[in-house]
Amino acid sequence: MTDLERRQDRAPVPSGWDYAPAPEARDIVTLEERYGLYIGGELVEPKSGEYFPTVSPASEEVLAEVGQAGPEDVDLAVQAARDAYDNGWSAISPAERAKYLFRIARILQERSREFAVLESLNGGKPIKESRDVDLPLAAAHFFYYAGWADKLEYAFPHRRPRSVGVAGQIIPWNFPLLMLAWKIAPALAGGNTVVLKPAESTPLSALLFADVLRQAELPPGVVNIVTGDGRAGAELVKHPDVDKIAFTGSTEVGKAIQRELAGTGKRLTLELGGKAANIIFDDAALDQAVEGIVNGIYFNQGHVCCAGSRLLVQESIYEPVIEKLKRRLTTLRVGDPLDKNTDVGAINSKQQLEKIEELVRSGEEEGADIYQPPCRLPEKGWWFVPTVFTNVAQSYRIAQEEIFGPVLSVLTFRTPDEAVEKANNTPYGLSAGVWTEKGSRILSMASRLEAGVVWANTYNRFDPTSPFGGYKESGFGREGGLHGLEPYLDLEESEVRG
Ligand code: NDP
């Protein structure tokens, strides 16, 4: 009899690997019952008189009421931004601007646990992601652009970089604080002022950020935050005194914004949807690739514009990859976003859940094979089991449309040419992944893939120094790196070239 068998007789070895709950305490977050709009350095009641509830997608509990900005409110926010621009911010010394950005970055670090809990509470994403990804990256963006604020002439040699004016910024619900940081940090570093509209379903971290601005003693009006639904975003876009619009969200709304701004002379950058190919060659390290596939599509419940939602596997390794992937899926823990062991949290909203369900139904109806691991979902809230579709044709909706949920469509290829052709067979062009042991193949694939970002032997890695953005229907303009400063600067050529 082996040792193990003897031990099983006396004290049974655990039969499963269930984790005990490890919830993060939520008392670090203090919620107000009601929030106004952040205009001119103060939280003010909306002139519209309207408020709407914001909920936790994991429990459907109402967390607070938030103001709905109407046309008059948006106008006041733009006026506050214009006054702050004209009366100080645009003329302040660049080193002084940098000081504020450094302060904001440090305060975000100091209050990171509070922000991480709030982000998971309001957005449904696992605490380990908000704690280890969203918060460190948000602070890193402010640090990075703080560094450039007084070095713009070195960043753009032979140019005379000058600020643009008032920036209107509209952000989505998948990375609320991180998208705020991507937008606000370069705008302020370039000497602009801001009116930001967070997504309707996730306004709370932007409102907490208003408190960071107060702590950092940022002059009133330099950043204004108008909460509300798409109507508030539309008002901001068409406001005549806004000089630049930066939008992240759906391709449909991005196109509407572009139409609205055509001929106005306003600057525009659009970061829209994606349907990225994650390409696995037969010489790739398979276990690492499977981790990359999982990170590519199940990270943040698949609510990621650059998610690796189309898996392209070389035919010769199709079976082992799918077997390993299915086995790995059985170990993903879906549930309470505030539990530190959770891998996949709640779907951000009921509407988003319905959209995912509709596309998954279409996949089954069109003839793809569905796999979902055994999984017990919480009774309240909005949830979706991590899903893999095999036997997918390129024409299926699940291979063409952005699902924006934890749903992977698997296709196969035989040659690199076929992989490139299939990967590029999409109206989008935001990102792609390549898994192979050959550096030459990585370089050759990267130069042929129509994608703004190509990851090699990794996926969903972000860094403030690295520009991010798309081609085709994924939008235009870049965020991050020096490229991310350009939309916020007038880059006139200087007369003297040295
Ligand atoms: P939207 O594009 O509608 O939302 C993005 C932001 O734009 C939100 O702040 C939204 O406000 C605002 N907005 C909505 N309508 C207008 C308008 N007419 N003018 C100006 N601003 C507007 O995305 P959804 O939240 O509706 O998501 C729909 C789909 O879009 C998702 O299923 C996903 O496929 C894709 N998406 C892509 C994202 C990306 O990062 N590329 C991010 C989010 C979604 P409000 O939240 O109040 O509607």
Tens-digit pLDDT profile for residues 12-21 = 555 666 788 9
Residue 195: predicted pLDDT: 98
**CATH architecture, domain defined by 274-464:** 3-Layer(aba) Sandwich (3.40)
170 lines ligand 1 (CB under 6 A): yes
Residue 492: predicted pLDDT: 81
Mutate to test the pocket of ligand 1, among 250, 428, 476 (most ligand atoms within 8 A of CB): 250
238 lines ligand 1 (CB under 6 A): no
User: Ligand 1, atom 10: nearest CA belongs to which residue?
Assistant: 230
Tens-digit pLDDT profile for residues 392-430 = 999 999 999 999 999 999 999 999 999 999 999 999 999
Residue 18: predicted pLDDT: 76
Q: Are 171 and 183 in contact (CB under 8 A)?
A: yes
197 lines ligand 1 (CB under 6 A): yes
Residue 493: predicted pLDDT: 76
- What is the amino acid identity at position 498? G
Q: Which atom of ligand 1 is nearest to 403's Cα?
A: 34
Residue 247 CB neighbour total at 10 angstroms: 28
231 lines ligand 1 (CB under 6 A): no
Tell me how far the alpha carbon of residue 236 lies from the centroid of ligand 1, in angstroms: 14
Catalogue the active-site residues: 271, 305
Tell me how far the alpha carbon of residue 351 lies from the centroid of ligand 1, in angstroms: 12
The whole-model pTM stands at: 0.95
Mutate to test the pocket of ligand 1, among 54, 125, 170, 431 (most ligand atoms within 8 A of CB): 170
Q: Which atom of ligand 1 is nearest to 355's Cα?
A: 32
- Transcribe 333-380 into DSSP letters: PBS-TTBTT-SB---S-HHHHHHHHHHHHHHHHHTPEEE----PPPSS
Domain spanning 34-272+473-493 has what CATH number? 3.40.605.10
Closest Cα partner for 209 from 312, 105, 133, 279? 105
CA 44 to chain centre: 28
Mutate to test the pocket of ligand 1, among 54, 253, 384 (most ligand atoms within 8 A of CB): 253
Coil, strand or helix at 401: coil
Q: Which atom of ligand 1 is nearest to 304's Cα?
A: 40
CATH topology of 34-272+473-493 equal to that of 274-464?
no
Which residues have C-beta within 8 Å of that of residue 51, sequence separation ≥ 6? 34, 65, 66, 67, 68
CA 286 to chain centre: 27
Q: Which residues of the chain have pLDDT under 50?
A: 1-5, 498
335 lines ligand 1 (CB under 6 A): no
Exposure string over 398-411, b if 16+ CB within 10 A, otherwise e? bbbbbbbbbbbbbb
Tens-digit pLDDT profile for residues 269-300 = 999 999 999 999 999 999 999 999 999 999 99
User: Ligand 1, atom 4: nearest CA belongs to which residue?
Assistant: 249
- Domain chopping of the chain, boundaries: 34-272+473-493, 274-464
Residue 350: predicted pLDDT: 97
